[in-house]
Structure formats: C-alpha cells, structure tokens
Structure 1
C-alpha cells in the first residue's frame, strides 16, 4: 500500500506540474497571438496609411499633369491665334493699294536716301522705287514689300522690308498683342 500511495503522489504531482506547464504554455501562446495580432494591426495600419498617401500623391500628380496639359493646350491655341493675326497683318500689308505703297516707300526713301548708294526692292515695287529714289537700283529681293538701302561697299545695309519691320514689331509687341486678344 505504501508504494501505491507514493505512485499516486508522484502521479498527482506530475499531473499538477503538467497542468501548470500547459497553463503557462497556453498563457505564452495567448501572449504570442496577442503580439502577432498587434503587429499585424500595426503593419496593416502602416500599409493603409502608406496606400492613402500614395493615392493622394498620385492624385496630385495627375491633377498637376492635367493642369499642365490644359495650359499647354491653351498656349498652343493662343499661339495659333497670334500666328493667324500675324499672317493676316502680312496679307493686309501685301495687299495695300498702290497709293499707300507709294506713301510708305516715299517716307522710307526720304528718310534714308542719304544713307546709301544702292537700293533694292521686290519686283512689284521696282518701277515705283526707281521713280522715287535717286539711288542706283541694283536688283530685286524676295519680300512682300519695302526696300533695302546699301552703301557702296555693302558694309552698311538698312533693311526696311515689310517682312523685317513686321517681324520686329511682332517681337516687340507680342505680349501687348496677347494681352489685347486674351486679356
């Protein structure tokens, strides 16, 4: 009987110890699971926040890109309008009545005749320029109108072609013209 009591006591103590080990293991597993859940929540929250930040950044990039494209389209449209205005001005000057052509050429010649010895014009204005100027007529140039006056050795060349005058006026007044047309 004494041996059975000792065996029971050993078995009871072993069972109690096993229960304590199981309880500790369950507590440890529960703690590990809680830690994993907390880490998973943190990772999920961080990734969600990063995803939201990425979405905001992408949205802002798309908005900026769209705004840039709108500005580019508007600038291209404005440039087209300004080019058409320039082309219309060139056509208007090219189709000036002969009396106006004569007035313009006479004004240019009167002011600059003494600055050169040779004169050039387009084919259409040749006879008129020969009539208005005392300078040696030396040939035709490709332009919509106007003239070029040159000194004897060709080192000084005054370009009063309407093409150059229009180009210079256009460059100098482009902003003002744009403001008038587009506000």
Structure 2
C-alpha cells in the first residue's frame, strides 16, 4: 500500500463525510426553510384574521357613526319643523281679530277676575280690558295678548297671557304634535 493509496482512501473518506455533511446540511436547511414558510404562513394568516377583525370593527363603527349622524340630522329637522309650527301658532295668536281678542279676554275675565284686585294687559288690549273688567288697571305688560291678574298686595300673580297659554299648550302637546307630524 502506498502513500498514494492512503491519501486516496483518506480523500475518499473525507469526500464521503463531506457529502454526508452536505446532505445533512441540505436536509436541515430544507427543514428550516419549511419551518420558516410554515411560520410565515401562520403569521400571514393571523395578520389577515386580525386585519379582517379590524376592518369589521371599523365598518361597524362607521355604520354606527353614520346612523347617529342620520338620527341627529332627523332630530334637528324635526326640531326646526316643530319650532316653525310653534312660530306659526304664535303668529296666528298675535294676529287675532279685535272681536276674537275681546271674546277671549271676556272668557278669561269671567273665569279668573274674582281671584285678583289688579289687572295688566298689553297696550293694544288696554281699553278692552278696562271696559270688561272691574279690577284696578295696573298697567301694560309686554305680551301678544291676554291678561295678568294680581292680588292686592302683589304676592300672587296669575299669568293668562296668550304667550304663556300658548307655550303651556305647546309643551303639553309636543309629543302629540310630533306624532301627528312625523308618525
């Protein structure tokens, strides 16, 4: 056996070991790559699921926000319409004919005059109130019509102005008015 044969045998063994190590390294590298691909696939799936959840949450938030905005707009529109109805009623009461105003004042006086000693009205109704009432006329007040009756010492005041009556009726009937207008 020559030195050359020993060198060749060592070289063959070294090459066989190198081939085996290379094969093991290739197998390990393939396994690492497969594991990495699986992890990447799982991460991608998790992220996709998280993104879908976030998109769904944002979608729900946007829909809720849009619904609230629609409700706000509808409520504001209803409020404007109800204010317009009140203003038209106020205007109608403000523009009562003198005969109708006198009828209403007479009705109020017949019902409430006995509870007071002094009476107030707006400037336009002063002469009618003085003519219809036996109470002391105490002066003018700022209102669209009606009367205010006070006891002799001014501690009790009954407000039967058209403004107050209209506001009271409106407040009491607001739900009914809203139901009639908006269903």
Structure 1: segments with no counterpart, 5+ residues: none
Moved over 6 A (4+): none
Structure 2: segments with no counterpart, 5+ residues: none
Provide Cα deviations, 1:27-48, integer angstroms capped at 9, x if missing partner.
Answer: 1111111111111111111111
Residue equivalent to 1:117: 117
Give, in whole Å, the separation in 2 of the partners of 1:152 and 1:32. Answer: 104
Residue equivalent to 1:69: 69
Q: State the TM-score, normalized to the length of structure 2.
A: 0.95
Matched, 1:176 2:176: yes
Provide Cα deviations, 1:118-138, integer angstroms capped at 9, x if missing partner.
Answer: 111100000111111111111
Give, in whole Å, the separation in 2 of the partners of 1:153 and 1:5. Answer: 140
Give, in whole Å, the separation in 2 of the partners of 1:101 and 1:75. Answer: 35
Residue equivalent to 1:13: 13
Give, in whole Å, the separation in 2 of the partners of 1:152 and 1:29. Answer: 108
The alignment partner of 1:85 has SS state of helix
Give, in whole Å, the separation in 2 of the partners of 1:62 and 1:34. Answer: 41
The alignment partner of 1:31 has SS state of helix
The alignment partner of 1:110 has SS state of helix
Residue equivalent to 2:96: 96
Moved more, 29-38 or 45-54: 45-54
Q: State the TM-score, normalized to the length of structure 1.
A: 0.95
Residue equivalent to 1:33: 33
5 Å-filtered alignment, 1:158-173, equals 158-173=158-173
5 Å-filtered alignment, 1:132-147, equals 132-147=132-147
Give, in whole Å, the separation in 1 of the partners of 2:150 and 2:16. Answer: 121
**Displacement, 1:8?**
2.0
**Displacement, 1:4?**
2.5
Give, in whole Å, the separation in 1 of the partners of 2:99 and 2:67. Answer: 51
